[in-house]
Structure 1
């Protein structure tokens, strides 16, 4: 059992991050042509725009919330005047609001991809798998935040999961820390690492293709062509 725990909480995260890094390098070097979001907007636009808007507006604060909760030690939060009560209020209410926004966006996008036959036919297996996995990850995150924290109010992930997570970056992760972590948190964490392993081989790579050069680019002029008789 000790070997299994070490694989799950030490080896597996490093495997996922190694695939994430080297997979992106490989994909960029050999498959630049398919480095795209492969939009299906021309097939269906209304659900895509609404779902995508909810998802993107929600996921950005959620990501920053995860960074704050996992990367910043409790002592640092207290030093900045953010006590445990204030932190948990922010995590539950503010985090819950943006979490629900992200979840609803993913439900719409996933329903659209599976229910509209023309969109489904255009989708690859990786598209369907990533949509399903992202929906599951967001759902488990919301379940852990709202349900597990309510059922087990004495559990504080900042004293367990966050410590384990930070130790990963110092190559000093202790799997014993994760032994008493609730199952919902464990599933959320492991599927979160799994999506990083899938990332380089899916349409998620478009996240890194932010068109910053558009800001300083000259305007493109379009002129109507008048046919001559």
Structure 2
């Protein structure tokens, strides 16, 4: 059991991180021209716009919330004037609102990809797998936040998961810390690392292709030329 715990909470996360880093380097080196999200907007637009808007509006605050909860120690939060009660309110209520937006948006996008035949035919296996996995991760995260936290109010992930997570990047991870973590949180953590391993080989790579240079790019001028006789 000790060996299994070490694999799950030490080896597996490091393996996913390594695949995430070297997988991106490998794909960019041999497949940079397919570094795209392969938009299916021309097939169906209404559900895509609604689902994408909800998902992106929700996922950005959710990501920042995860970073704050996992990276920033409780002592630092207290020093900034954020009491455990105040943090709990923000995590449950504010985080719950944005998490629900993310869940609904991801459900719409996944439903669209699986049920509209023309979109499904255009989709690769990785497209379908990414949608399904992301939907599952968000669902389990919402369940852990809204159900597990109510059923087990004494559990504080900042005392367990956050400590383990920070130690992981200090190369001092202790699998025993995760022993008392509720199952829903464990599944959420492990599937979260799994999506990072899958990331370089899916459409998720388009996240790194934000066209920031468009902001400072000069206007493109179009001039009409008179036909010459």
Match of 1:123 in 2: 123
Match of 1:193 in 2: 193
Q: CA deviation at 1:177?
A: 0.3
Q: CA deviation at 1:222?
A: 3.7
Match of 1:42 in 2: 42
Match of 2:145 in 1: 145
Match of 2:96 in 1: 96
Question: Following superposition, which runs of at least 4 residues in structure 1 exceed 4 angstroms of deviation?
Answer: 223-229
Aligned residues: 229
Q: CA deviation at 1:168?
A: 0.4
Match of 1:167 in 2: 167
Q: CA deviation at 1:224?
A: 5.9
Matched, 1:73 2:65: no
Unaligned runs of 5+ in 2: none
Tell me the secondary structure at the aligned position of residue 179 of structure 1. helix
Q: RMSD of the alignment, in Å?
A: 1.2
Separation in 2 of the partners of 1:112 and 1:228?
Answer: 51
| Alignment of structure 1 residues 45-56 onto 2, 5 Å | 45-56=45-56
Encode CA deviations 1:116-167: one digit per residue, 9 max, x unaligned. 0000000000000000000000000000000000000000000000000000
Question: Compared with structure 1, are the counterparts of its residues 111 and 225 closer, same or farther at alpha carbon in structure 2 (3 Å cutoff)?
Answer: farther
Encode CA deviations 1:11-70: one digit per residue, 9 max, x unaligned. 000000000000000000000111001000010011101100000010000000000000
TM-score by length of 2: 0.97
Separation in 2 of the partners of 1:211 and 1:186?
Answer: 36
Separation in 1 of the partners of 2:192 and 2:11?
Answer: 15
Encode CA deviations 1:103-122: one digit per residue, 9 max, x unaligned. 00000000000010000000
